[in-house]
Amino acid sequence: MRGAILSALLVTMLGVGVLAAGELEPVAPPGPTMKSLDEIPPTWSQTLDSTDGEPDGCNSSRFKCVLGGAAVLDMETGLIWERTPSNNYNQWLPSIDACLQKLVGDRGGWRLPRAEEIFSLIDRSSGLPRLPPSHPFTGLQDATCYYSTTTVATDATNVWGLSSDLLQNMHSPCQIPIAGGGFALFWCVRGGQGDAVH
């Protein structure tokens, strides 16, 4: 009697197990489980060498020239920058529109960068704020500021920008008036998580 109960219990458990398992054959082949380093998005936590590239600054560990050499992919952040920023002074709102309408390397999708994005180009390893050594950017203007979309928290009539002094190769944050005669340059970026003015 005890054996019959155990047998019935075992059959019941096995039957439930078979019913619960369902179809065991896969309906499609499994997807890839491994990615190359190029497929992993940047995390902003790495420091890459900008001096191990070609003489023009392209194809270092940090900077890759893309879109026929018209743009630069920053491997630290995943952002794509114009290789040669605009040298036309403009007010802030027209600069936002100019980036949105811009084609670089026959590609659209450009925008004015946020402050943290443009400041990510600053390298302080030498003690002074500079663009990374051997960078591939060209046509940067001396003694000017490049706009961001980020307003200054303590003075919303100004936006943050990146200033440049090519004679000393120094680049540091600056504040630019939004209206009332404020003029600066713009350096368009592609990718990232751009947002509206903030």
Which residues, at least 6 apart from 51, have a Cβ–Cβ distance to it below 8 Å? 60, 133, 134
Tens digits of residue pLDDT in 41-98: 666 778 888 889 899 999 999 999 999 999 999 999 999 999 999 888 889 999 999 9
Residue 68, CB-side half-sphere exposure with 13 Å CA sphere: 5
Contact 190, 80 (CB under 8 A): yes
Contacts of residue 48, defined as CB under 8 A and 6 or more positions apart, other chains included, come to 60, 61, 62, 75, 76
Please state, in angstroms and rounded to a whole number, the distance separating the CA atoms of residues 132 and 121. 7
Distance CA 109, CA 97 (A): 12
What is the pLDDT, as a whole number, of residue 2? 56
pLDDT digits (tens, 9 = 90+) for 103-122: 999 999 999 999 999 989 88
CB 158 within 8 A of CB 147: no
Tens digits of residue pLDDT in 174-185 = 888 887 767 889
